[in-house]
């Protein structure tokens, strides 16, 4: 199983010794690559990322917004080629490349999605995250999506934002996350070989552990035949490593093969 966070740097993490990607990769074996959604990195930056990680580390980069949002998956072949060319030095460390579609992308866009996915280079693991309500209705539109992804061996990315939306909006970080994160049903299903779970936690560890409880058995079931990616978020990610450590410790009890949790000094005062 791969466990990571939505980013590899945060100034708040300096107190536990996490300053760089190299520091991060000593404890976590994957990361969400949200940076590519906004802009592609330079060639030198990609090489630095390669040099700061080992062969067992996995990047899960997001397709750029120029492809998913601005071009709406149409006539974007040069953008796709540029994306793959830019990341080519990291080819052996690409865990999954995932497409986050806007809420406006509904069932009428499925033909464009199938054309886009069918044209992607073979040999990579891909994921798709949808946000249109029709894809969560358990009706014909959702079945069409799930079947199309399964036929192509594409993972449906699972976003669990229940914890943050049930958190007490007592601080600015929680309120900001509640404004930005979509509030959608959670459909835990595996359409291909490498499911991705994005757990969007609130700021209280005990509440997050309660919301995470159903995922323990699901991840354990998947682990043997469909090794998953798990990404732990918190409202502003300032305490994401510490919360991930606690969730990881509980996960270890059900999935011993998950490996040891990070061993930096625990600081209960952070919670």
pLDDT averaged over 10-residue windows placed end to end, the chain, 271 residues: 95 94 96 94 97 97 97 96 97 97 96 97 96 95 97 97 94 93 92 95 93 92 90 95 93 83 64 40
What pLDDT is recorded for position 223? 86
Does any domain span residue 87?
yes
| Cross-strand partners of 183 | none
As for how many domains the chain has, the answer is: 1
Does any domain span residue 124?
yes
Q: What is the residue range of 247's domain?
A: 2-254
CATH code, domain carrying 80: 3.20.20.410
| Residue 246 CA from chain centroid, whole number | 19
- From CA 190, how far away is CA 101, in angstroms rounded? 18
What pLDDT is recorded for position 259? 82
Across the beta sheet with 126-129, what order do the strands follow? 97-100, 126-129, 155-156
User: Residue 119: phi, psi to the nearest 5?
Assistant: -90, -5
Q: What is the pTM of this model?
A: 0.94
Tens of pLDDT, residues 159-200? 999 999 999 999 999 999 999 999 999 999 999 999 999 999
Does any domain span residue 29?
yes
- From CA 183, how far away is CA 131, in angstroms rounded? 9
**Would you say 135 and 100 are in contact if contact means Cβ atoms under 8 Å apart?**
no
What pLDDT is recorded for position 269? 43
What pLDDT is recorded for position 267? 54
Across the beta sheet with 58-61, what order do the strands follow? 58-61, 30-33, 2-5, 229-233, 196-200, 158-160
Does any domain span residue 117?
yes
Does any domain span residue 269?
no
Does any domain span residue 270?
no
Does any domain span residue 38?
yes
Does any domain span residue 265?
no
- From CA 188, how far away is CA 105, in angstroms rounded? 21
**Would you say 45 and 87 are in contact if contact means Cβ atoms under 8 Å apart?**
no
- From CA 46, how far away is CA 42, in angstroms rounded? 6
What pLDDT is recorded for position 270? 45
């Amino acid at each position: 199983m791969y466990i990571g966070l939505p980013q590899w740097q945060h100034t708040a993490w300096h107190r536990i010794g996490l300053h760089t990607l190299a520091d991060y990769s000593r404890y976590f074996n994957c990361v969400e690559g949200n940076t590519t959604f906004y802009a592609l990195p330079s060639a030198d930056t990609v090489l630095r990322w390669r040099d700061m990680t080992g062969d067992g580390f996995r990047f899960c980069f997001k397709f750029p917004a120029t492809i998913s949002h601005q071009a709406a998956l149409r006539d974007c072949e040069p953008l796709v080629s540029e994306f793959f060319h830019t990341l080519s030095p990291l080819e052996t460390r690409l865990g999954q490349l995932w497409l986050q579609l806007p809420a406006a992308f509904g069932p009428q866009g499925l033909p464009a999605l199938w054309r886009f996915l069918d044209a992607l280079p073979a040999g990579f693991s891909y994921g798709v995250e949808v946000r249109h309500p029709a894809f969560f209705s358990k009706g014909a539109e959702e079945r069409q999506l799930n079947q199309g992804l399964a036929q192509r061996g594409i993972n449906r990315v699972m976003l669990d934002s229940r914890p943050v939306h049930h958190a007490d909006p007592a601080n600015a970080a929680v309120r900001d996350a509640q404004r930005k994160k979509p509030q959608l049903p959670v459909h835990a299903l595996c359409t291909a070989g490498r499911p991705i779970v994005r757990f969007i936690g609130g700021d209280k560890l005990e509440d997050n552990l309660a919301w995470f409880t159903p995922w323990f058995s699901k991840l354990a079931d998947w682990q043997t035949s469909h090794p998953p990616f798990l990404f732990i978020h918190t409202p502003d990610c300032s305490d994401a490593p510490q919360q991930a450590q606690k969730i990881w410790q509980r996960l270890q009890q059900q999935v011993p093969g998950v490996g040891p949790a990070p061993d930096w000094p625990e600081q209960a005062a952070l919670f």
